[in-house]
Structure 1
Amino acid sequence: MRTSIATVCLSGTLEEKMHAAAAAGFDGIEVFEQDLVVSPSSPEEIRELAAQLGLSLDLYQPFRDADAVGPELFAANLRRAEAKFQLMNRLGTDTMLVCSNVGTAEIDDDEVVAGQLRELGELAARYGVRLAYEALAWGRFVDDFEHAQRIVDLADHPSVGTCLDSFHILSRAWDPAPIEGIAAEKIFFVQLADAPLLSMDVLSWSRHHRVFPGEGDFDMVGFMTHLVRAGYDGPVSLEIFNDAFRQADVNRTAVDGLRSLRWLEDQTRRALDGEPVRDTLGLQALPAVEEPAGYDFVEIRTGRLGETTRLLHQLGFALGGHHQSKENVQLWVQGPVRIVVNDDVPDGSPTEIAALGFEVADPDAAIDRATRLAALPVPRSQGPGEQVLRGVFAPDGTEVFFCGRPADGVPAWLGEFGADEESHDAALVTGVDHINMAQPWQHYDEAVLFYTSVLALAAQPSQDVPGPSGLVRSQVMRSASGAVRMPLNVAPAAAEQGSFVGAAYPEHVALYCTDVFAAARRARRRGLDFLPVPQNYYEDLDARFDLDDEFVASLQELNLLYDRDADGEFLHFYTGTLGTVFFEVVERRGGYAGFGAPNAPVRLAAQYRRSQAEHRARTEA
């Protein structure tokens, strides 16, 4: 599949955008007019740079407000268009995007519009240029692709075709199935954009909230299947207007964009598998991978070894051994849960989640798929006889490893610590319930796509949780079985600037236990510093659920929180924060599948109060 990206998607200069697109692996680009206008490079120099980088110049855009105007204005539009055609000849691109009129349209007559497009097409043909007519979702008279196609058919000119843009079609909830009825040779260009479902005017939605395929809520795979059935064989291009993308690093945004197209290509091919459809796009499938069966290990990096291992001991973990060749690496175990502690960092460095190991059926296929999706491999050395663990970097820098599932359930790498899998019978903690990862706002959508495409996790509907520093956006990435659950949180801007904790926004590991009361009592005996829960919470809890007084008193005694829905109950407690990490211990009763969302504001407020107190103490000292 030929891939392309509009330069408007990326930050930087036109030249920087071109280098980033080429480095990411795109076949071509759309040149956004403003990027060229503000560039000191001549059209000939841009053409030469594209040739050096191996990029095709697939589209010049946009040409606005050309149609549905009176004779005098249309004559001016023809003069303007001819100047652009001459420019395109210098640039070396032969297709121009013509948008349906938004600002100057005054004639609501398809015959008139078709006649004007025909005349524009006749002029374009003299310069070897084609016109791709696009229905903007907010066009004054033409705002849907079927209407635009009827006008193209009326124009009946070989240089006039249509541009199909997924945002303009799906944002208006138009059925994309009629794409299959468009003659393939009249589909001159295709632009793709996904988006979250928002309730707002479509123009603002388009200008600020588009995302790459797989990062929003549109059925992009369905859109693509209609395109393939139509027989389209041209470039598939990204046109994304997004405030975060245009501020983010140009190279990583380009990589994210190509990853989205490779994922979409794979998903489309699989969706069409078995259909007698001629694949004119040349869709390539990625190596198939199953969703992970669970967490193999969690690695924590810390320059505060003593307080970190003390906390693990308080939660019931025991030292499983020291690594045979990496003297700064320890293993802590409880039942089937394995936490690797790495203190190969300067003393005092904050504690953080460094790596996650996922149990997968075929690690080789998983790493192959991940690297084809432009994920960077993690460099890792191993000594003689040590297991080869292969992984890639997630967008936030976390290392993601793909670990096999041995038949006996005992990972071979445990031997490197001199450890064997212990009996699980007496363990209170019996699994990793979920891992909550904090994401920088500008890379949140990238993280959603990464875990969707690389690990085959599905994104659940997002929700906002209020906290002292602002709303925290949370979206759960989940395997179908529920064995892997990863809420991704976007920290409020104030928290990222340090006003929340004086450091990075915290993330946490949630441990599943069979008896949260017993786990809390054991932790208290061992001196755990619980995150305190205010009296007001328990009074509100009693009002909400009409709980037994003794039960509420037991919760309050141990700083436990509680939630309930129609399927079951959820009980949990939090530790204090070490660096950027804290732990949660949870017990699920019945079929409760949530995460105690009503209790999140309590946790956020308590963490905020504690962090502010610690900050004041450091300042006064």
Structure 2
Amino acid sequence: MHTSIATVCLSGGLTQKLHACAAAGFDGVEIMDSDLTAAYESPEEIRALCARLGLRIEMFQPMRDVEGVDAETFADNLRRAEAKFEVMERLGAELLLLCSNVATATADDDELVAAQLAELADRAAARGIRIAYEALAWGRFVRDYRHAWRIVQLADRPNLGLCLDSFHILSLGLDPAPIEEIDGDRIFFLQLADAPEMELDVLSWSRHHRLFPGEGSFELPAFLGHVLRAGYRGPLSLEVFNDVFRQTDPVATARHAHRSLRWLADRAAVAGGWEQDRLEPLQPPRGVDFVEIAGEDLSDVDRLLQQLGFDFAGEHRSKRVRLWEAGEARIVLNEQHRGSEARLAGIGLRVDDAAAAVRRAGAIGASEAFRWTLEGEQRLRGVEAPDGTQFFWDDRAGRSWRDEFGGGERGAAGLRGWIDHVNVGAGWEHFDEAVLFATSVLGLTAETSSELPGPQGLVRSQVLRTPDGAVRLACNLAPPSAPEMPRHLAIRVEDAAATARLARARGLEFLPIPSNYYDDLEARFALGPERIGELRELGLLYDRDAHGSFVHFYTPTLGGVFLEIVERRGGYPGYGAANAPVRLAAQRG
């Protein structure tokens, strides 16, 4: 697989972008005309830099509004094109992107368009330059790739071909299957982008909301399969216009972009039955092995877990690490992080083949997480997510890391629980990358995202899970003006009310819930005075749908983490989303 990316995808100056592309592992780049114009380096210097970095200049882009015009305008367009050809020669670029005309001063005349493209191609051929004609989704008359292909055939020049862009095709709902009928040698270039489903004019949609493959709603593996079956063997290149990526660190964004291409190539290879570009198979997690909370002093978390009914399962034999258990729910407290407050640092996942999971993660560009271990201690292999959370895989059921802890008393308190879900969080600049990481590296499936009202604006929430619900990760994105949201883990128990009573008897103070919430709860569900009274007394929250009901409560926040105790009745699948505004307001105080 030969990978490429358009410089418009990244923030910064041109040389900074080129260094980021090379560091991420890209083979080539599309250089945007505006990036070169704003650079202080000459085309020759950019050419030399790309050579030193091992980057091939795949395409120079774009030229616009050239064809289908009157003779006087076309003559000026040829003059403009000759100037760009000279720049391309200095740059060492051999392929020019030509976008279909979007101006009003163009004619709906395929014969005229083809004749003018043929003349432009002849002039380019004299300089050894090829032209890739692209049908823009908002083109004045040419907006369908099939129409563009007919014009290219009519022009009949060997150095004139097509540029196919997934956004321009899929955003209009065009059928990509006929791509297979195009001569693959005449598909000069392929640009790839994903996008969310939106009710928006296509130009604004394209300019502000494109995403990297795997992050939107387009069926890109199928689209790529059609292009490859047509015989295309050129680069897989990304062209993603997105307001977030234009503001973020170009090195991180380039790595994110490259990972998305590796994911796409793998998905297309699996769907098409091709061996080339396949990664190790995904290792879907079978369950959560443990959750780790790290910080310098976690004595308050010790106290909180004891109040909730967890058992102290012992100290690690060589590290400042403690283990607490409640049935299948295991929480590791790691005090080897000096100067930091409590935070959710790691999650252990049970899989069938941990080594295969590590190999796949490395091939897709994830950074491996390392932990110091002594001889005889189990080494857990894992990777680091975009937000810094570390994920570890364990497939050794016969030899557990739990044996390295001693001095505790397992099963004494009697609380039986499971890890229901974990909130991993993500900054605004990493949200889409976090979703791609969870699907492409961890093997989770993304549910439909939702928006929850908070005291400082809407909070975007995305749940990622296994089909059986054994692993659920919730990723919340607060408005940019809001402070960073604390992470939390939810422990599922058989009786939330009983757990709350015991915790309160042990001195735990719950997150205070306003009385108005319970008045509204009675109006919504008609639970009756006795049930409402119990919920109000214990500070419990409640939700119900056609599948079942949900009872839960929250602990106070300690540092950057808090716990949630949940009880699911029937087949309730949600997370109490209707109660989120109350929780967010209470946590803000």
TM-score range, shorter chain: over 0.9
1:344 equivalent among 332, 336, 348 = 336
What displacement does 1:422 show?
Answer: 4.8
CA offsets 1:423-471 (integer angstroms, 9 cap, x no match):
69x7444210000122100111111111110011111111110111111
Looking at structure 1, the residues matched to 528 and 355 of structure 2 have their Cα atoms a distance apart, in angstroms, of: 53
Q: Please give the alpha-carbon distance, in whole angstroms, between the structure 2 residues aligned to 1:254 and 1:378.
A: 20
CA deviations 1:22-79 (Å, max 9, x no partner) are 1111110000111111111111111111111111100000101111211111111111
Give the gaps of 5 or more residues in structure 2: none
CA separation of 1:69/1:427 partners in 2, compared to 1, >3 Å: closer, same or farther? farther
**Residue 491 (structure 1) shift:** 1.5
Aligned position for 1:510: 490
Q: Any conservation in 2 of the 1:105–1:140 contact (CA below 8 Å)?
A: no
Whether the aligned pair in 1 keeps the contact of 2:460 and 2:476 (CA below 8 Å) is: yes
Q: TM-score, normalised to structure 2's length? A: 0.98
Letter in 2 for 1:417: F
4+ residue segments displaced more than 6 Å: none
Partners of 1:598 and 1:406 in 2: CA distance: 39
- What are the residue-to-residue correspondences of 1:50-69 with 2, within 5 Å? 50-69=50-69
User: 3-state SS of the aligned residue for 2:227?
Assistant: helix
CA distance in 2, matches of 1:352, 1:92: 50
Alignment of 1:518-533 (within 5 A): 518-533=498-513
Equivalent position SS for 1:441: coil
1:454 aligns with 2:441: yes
Looking at structure 2, the residues matched to 405 and 435 of structure 1 have their Cα atoms a distance apart, in angstroms, of 23
Q: Which residue pairs with 1:613 in the alignment?
A: none
Residues 80-229 of structure 1: matches in 2 within 5 Å?
80-229=80-229
Specify the alignment match of 1:569 in structure 2.
549
Return the letter of the residue paired with 1:342.
Answer: N
Q: Per the alignment, in what secondary structure is the counterpart of residue 262 of structure 2?
A: helix
SS of the equivalent of 1:455 reads coil
Give 1:420 shift.
9.1
Q: Are the aligned partners of 2:59 and 2:97 in contact in 1 as well (CA < 8 Å)?
A: yes
AA aligned opposite 1:108: D
1:62/1:97 contact within 8 Å kept: yes
CA contact (8 A) 1:462 1:474 kept: yes
- 1:515-571 per-residue CA deviation (whole Å, 9 max, x = no partner) reads 111111111111111111111111111111121221111111111111111111111
Contact 2:326 2:411 in 1 (8 A): no
The superposition leaves residues 200-230 of structure 1 with CA deviations (integer Å, 9 ceiling, x where unpaired) of: 1111111111110011111111111111111
Identity among equivalent pairs (%): 57
1:298 lines up with 2:291 in the alignment: yes
Change beyond 3 A, Cα 1:527–1:420: closer
Structure 1 position 444 matched with structure 2 position 431 = yes
For residues 249-273 of structure 1, what are the alpha-carbon distances to aligned partners after superposition, in whole Å with 9 as ceiling and x for unaligned?
A: 1111111011000011111111112
Shift of 1:474: 0.5
Query: Unaligned 5+ residue runs, structure 1?
Result: 274-278, 497-503, 610-621
Q: In 1, Cα distance between the equivalents of 2:294 and 2:408?
A: 23
Deviations 1:151-202 (A, max 9, x none): 1111111111111001111111111111111110110100000011111111
Match for residue 559 of structure 2? Answer: 579
CA distance in 2 between counterparts of 1:545 and 1:264 reads 45
Q: Secondary structure at the match of 1:442?
A: coil
Return the offset for 1:405.
4.8
Q: Of 323, 334, 356, which residue of structure 1 is paired with 2:326?
A: 334
CA distance, structure 2, for counterparts of residue 584 and residue 427 of structure 1 = 18
Do residues 256 (structure 1) and 256 (structure 2) align?
A: yes
C-alpha distance in 2, partners of 1:172/1:560?
48
2:67, 2:106 within 8 Å by CA — same for their partners in 1? no
Moved more, 27-36 or 531-540: 531-540
Question: Structure 1 residue 474 and structure 2 residue 454: aligned?
Answer: no
Residue in structure 2 matched with residue 619 of structure 1 by the alignment: none
| Contact 1:65 1:104 (8 Å CA) reproduced | no
- Report the equivalent of 2:246: 246
1:213-612 equivalence runs, <5 A: 213-273=213-273, 283-326=276-319, 328-346=320-338, 349-406=340-397, 412-418=400-406, 422=410, 427-496=414-483, 504-609=484-589
